[in-house]
């Protein structure tokens, strides 16, 4: 999937925002698994595959209300 990335480095901007991820295909170099929410289709495969169950999925409901 395009939404799940194996990352070995992160470049941050002056404001601490993430500027660039350095991806790897070598498991021995992986520092983090990154889930790109812009590419995510909410299929749940990452939730199912995570061996330590650190991913949670919540269903949200939008409610229109006059305030």
What are the structural domain ranges in the chain?
A: 4-49
Q: What DSSP string describes 6-49?
A: EEEEEEE-TTS-EEEEEE-S-GGG--EEEE-TTT-----HHHHH
Q: What is the pLDDT of residues 4-63, one digit of tens each?
A: 889 999 999 999 998 999 999 998 999 988 888 889 888 888 888 888 888 888 888 888
Which phi and psi (to 5°) does residue 7 adopt? Answer: -115, 140
Can you give the pTM of this predicted structure? 0.59
Q: How far apart are CA 34 and CA 37, in angstroms?
A: 9
């Amino acid at each position: 999937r395009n939404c799940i990335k194996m990352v070995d480095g992160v470049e941050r901007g002056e404001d601490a925002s993430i500027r660039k991820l350095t991806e790897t295909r070598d498991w021995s170099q992986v520092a983090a698994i990154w889930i790109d929410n812009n590419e995510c289709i909410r299929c749940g495969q990452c939730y199912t595959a995570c061996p330590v169950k650190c991913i949670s999925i919540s269903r949200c409901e939008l409610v229109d209300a006059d305030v």
